[in-house]
Amino acid sequence: MDAPPPAPPASGPGAGWSDIEPINISAEMRSSYLAYAMSVIVSRALPDVRDGLKPVHRRILYAMRESGFTADKPYRKAARAVGDVMGKYHPHGDSSIYDALVRMAQNWSMRVMLVDGQGNFGSIDGDSPAAMRYTEARLAKASSWLLDDIDRETVPFQPNYDESEMEPEVLPAAFPNLLVNGSAGIAVGMATNIPPHNPAEVIDATLALLEDPDITLEGLMEYLPAPDFPTGGLIMGRSGVKQAYETGRGSIPVRARAHIEEIRKDRQAIIITEVPYQVNKASLLEKIADLVRAKDIEGIADIRDESDRTGMRAVIELKRDATPDVVLNQLYRFTQMQTTFPVNMVALEEGRPRVMGLRDVLEAFLRFREEVILNRSRYELRRARERAHLLVGFVLAVANIDAVIALIRAEPDSASARAALMARDFPAADVEPLLALIHHEGNKVEGGRVRLTEAQARGILELRLQRLTGMERERIQSELAEVAERIKALLEVISSRPRRLEVLRDELHAVRAAMATPRLTEISASLGNETDESLIEPDQMVVTITRDGFIKRTSLATFRAQNRGGRGRTAAGRRGDDVVVRSFNAHTHQWVLFFTSGGKAYRMKVWHLPEAAPTSKGRALVNMLPDVGDDTITAVLPLPQDEGEWDDLHLVFATASGHVRRNRLADFSNIRANGLIAMKLEDGDHLIGVETCRVGQDVFLATRNARAIRFQITDQAVRVFAGRNGKGVRGIKLLDDDKVVSLCVLEHVEATPEERASYLRLANQLGINGRSTADNALAEESDDAGLDEGSAAEADGDDVLAAGLEGSPLDEERFEALRAAEQTLLTVTDAGFGRRASGYAYGLKNRAGKGLINMKFNSRRGREVVGTLKVESGADVMMVTDTGRLIRLPVDQVRVMSRTAGGVTLFRVEPDEHIISVFLVANDDDAEAALEEVDAEIIETVDATAFTDNENGQGEAEPS
């Protein structure tokens, strides 16, 4: 790429290559892109902190002033203004110019309009303005405060794009327009979003800073408490405002103004009279209608827009049985009736972008305005001295009028007369005090005499005879005195900073008197995020957490059950190779405990979690749980909704290294907002699960390499730890590189090994509790009890039971008791295979043992166990793959088999796809109906009867 070009030929078409110089393309791209980025930043997207305008707005206002489209003149076609701007100053197309002009004429976009428009300039409903050939415009009165004194050398000018005209670099704004009207723009690598403010409050804050340069931010906020949006609304709380004013960045929650009104007997309505800034009213009402049709918001009977010229009025009529406060809260929560205005106060200061707080903006404006006053005073001083210099010549001529007339009459032409006047000496007694004030080099007093300059002589020759009357001579003397006083005043302004600040203060007071308007946006002490749980609609949610730390909740009705072997549906949108790693179902009013891999605990209500669609990524947990650091959320525990049950509950912790620990749930009832240390872990260890438990229940641990152990929770086996610092006790002894992957808490059932063996044999023969008699011949021998789960007897069930009970330690009553208390465990491999096994197949062992074989599998069935779950009849299980696919499967479709059986196909995965997560969900009768219209290409239902088992217990599809 950087090699030099070949040598040029001596003559012919290739001659002249010697003028080409090789360059480094990466360096050229870097410099060119930087130049482009700075051009966009400075010349298009960001406003100047001094006048608060972007170049296109500045050019529009200046061009309209130059064309005479001022507030005191008739309206002129907007197309003419756009043409002047495009032809002279802004060669970027007429549409961008007209859009900028239109926005400055919209009272819902600008807090103080800078353009006065006539015609259709759009609406708050998002209606487009009429074409520029149909609309008319002129400068608004407020624009004069931005443009006044621009012809007095107050601001620097620069050549336009073709150097045929000069345009101002900045307007001599008399008020902080950046704060009054705000600004929004997207540049290259940066953006700005500044809210509008009340002009009187902005000027009051500016005056306060002028009076006391050391005033605090709190002091400034007494004058400028918050933004004032042109569309009104309510600002909820002041914390976001203070952060934005202090740092230049923050979020301000804004609500629509609404009230409840009785429109007729037994019928109430929510009346919206103001919407948040930059919210499209028509889109807002359409969104509400969509939510009503989707039944996300209930209780709304009708929606009408009754807005007219007098103001906004949107009517949301409620049903008779609806609770207005509930519906209003839902509207705030689900629609743009409550939004957050993101403040990003980036502006150009001395040509460079900078994030600025409130004090920074006001200080920059005061410095600029003082400079404007100084430049204006210097300009006016120069003009006053020029006028005084000419008046001095008039005074000298009038005082010696006879001699001057005689001299002029004696000369043949005007040039000679001018030279004669300049050569004559005049008595300086009458004007000598003024000459020092005028400070003109041409009038030098020597020996009490003074000579005229060329400008004075020319002025005398052009003097009309009527100025020689007595009254006119007095006027000349009076004007000279006035000009002298003006020069003295200007000299004082230039030489004295306190005097300049006094002028600045007086001008700010004048602007305030002309622009002051009442505040439109109300400031509420409420934060706007308080939510009464009675207003939260009860619902079952599926909470999903991804490996990269994104969390969301989705209504359980979004998913419907499929038969085993189905293709599943997309579970979550993923960023890159992000996958779902934690999921569970919970009620909206339940508390959820979050446990990190480092042993830290957090607590949050389900309805506080972000709600999103199944394909959405959700929200980053780092934005919700503080101080997570590099840890990941490895255990999530929904607590019982009835907090009265917490007193009898404990928490049992399990780590990947096989340690367990028991704590009272009360130890975690008061968790700080920044979390709580739940467990101190050894290096390389992490939490794999936390469950609620009671004394007497059993702990079940399953490992990756298909080992499992079950032991009872007693004070001797697993004591209650008083604190949260201990690592616990050993639960299972791991072999090789094994690690614990699942923790379950099972109900304890008192039964001898003989009773369990007899029950399992009879249950297999009878095909009860999820067993299939057709598959009993395929069951493998139990590893620890020597159980013979033989072939099914082809006999009547009662006869089989009676025959089996003979010589058995069980009687019929005991058999039925064990049958009622039986629990099943579902084990799933990473290849999508799984099977249920009876809890009786896992005998009680002492804690810290090596455990039992949980499953025998090979490379086809899977390389490792993903999880072992306690399941009940009627429940559903969800499985998630590393590609983000998910399937919901009724556990009743999974047969109960031997503890060591390889299982059947539960989820048909691709060759390079693996199951990474399995979890239970509760059935919801409404889930099926909610998904009747789901695209059949996304969700595929597979008939369970299309699968049989081969001789290894492997699920295979029968050929069609």
User: Sign of the C-alpha dihedral, residues 918, 924, 928, 933?
Assistant: negative
CA R_g for the chain:
43
Q: Give how far Cα 583 sits from Cα of 379, 483, 610, Å.
A: 73, 84, 14
How many C-beta neighbours within 10 Å does residue 77 have? 16
SS3 content of the chain, % helix, strand, coil (to 5): 35, 25, 45
Residue 202 near residue 497 (C-beta atoms within 8 A): no
| CA dist 486 → 27, 306, 389, 430, 489 (Å) | 58, 59, 13, 19, 5
Residue 813 CB contacts under 8 Å (≥ 6 apart), including other chains? none
| Interhelix angle 497-515/199-211, nearest 10 degrees | 160
Task: Report residue 349 as tokens.
Answer: 């200061």
Strands in 574-649 per DSSP E: 580-587, 591-596, 600-605, 619-620, 633-638
**What six digits make up the tokens of 906?**
């539960």
Instruction: Compute the distance between CA of residue 642 and CA of residue 168 in angstroms, rounded to an integer.
Output: 70
Query: Which stretch of DSSP H or E encloses residue 381?
Result: helix 358-399
Rounded Cα distance, 646 and 550, in Å: 29
Please state, in angstroms and rounded to a whole number, the distance separating the CA atoms of residues 491 and 437. Answer: 10
Closest CA relative to residue 370, chosen from 198, 188, 496: 496
Comparing CA positions, the residue from 246, 196, 181 lying closest to residue 51 is 181
Question: Do residues 51 and 176 touch, judged by C-beta distance below 8 A?
Answer: no
- Are the beta carbons of 202 and 180 closer than 8 angstroms? yes
Asked whether 942 and 563 are in contact (CB, 8 A), the reply is yes
Is residue 160 within 8 A of residue 167, CB to CB? The reply is yes
Q: Which listed residue (89, 134, 245, 840) is catalytic?
A: 134
Calculate the dihedral angle through the C-alpha atoms of 863, 867, 872, 876, rounding to the nearest 10 degrees.
-80
Rounded-to-integer distance, Cα 828 and Cα 902, Å: 10
Q: Which of 563, 560, 568 is nearest to 904 (CA)?
A: 563
Considering Cα of 30, then 31, then 32, then 38, what sign does the dihedral take? positive
The dihedrals phi and psi of 31, each to the nearest 5 degrees, come to -70, -40
Q: Which helix (H) or strand (E) holds 512?
A: helix 497-515
98 is catalytic: no
Cα–Cα distance measured from residue 460 to residue 400, given in angstroms and rounded to the nearest whole number: 12
Q: Which of 758, 766, 756, 825 is nearest to 791 (CA)?
A: 766
State the Cα torsion 369-184-124-225 to the nearest 10°: -60
Adjacent-strand bridge partners of 405: none
CA distance 634 to 686: 8
174 touches 156 (CB < 8 A):
no
With beta carbons less than 8 A apart as the criterion, state whether 118 and 135 touch: yes
- Using CA atoms, how far residue 675 sits from 308, 626, 728, in Å, is 52, 7, 21
- Residues assigned a catalytic role: 134
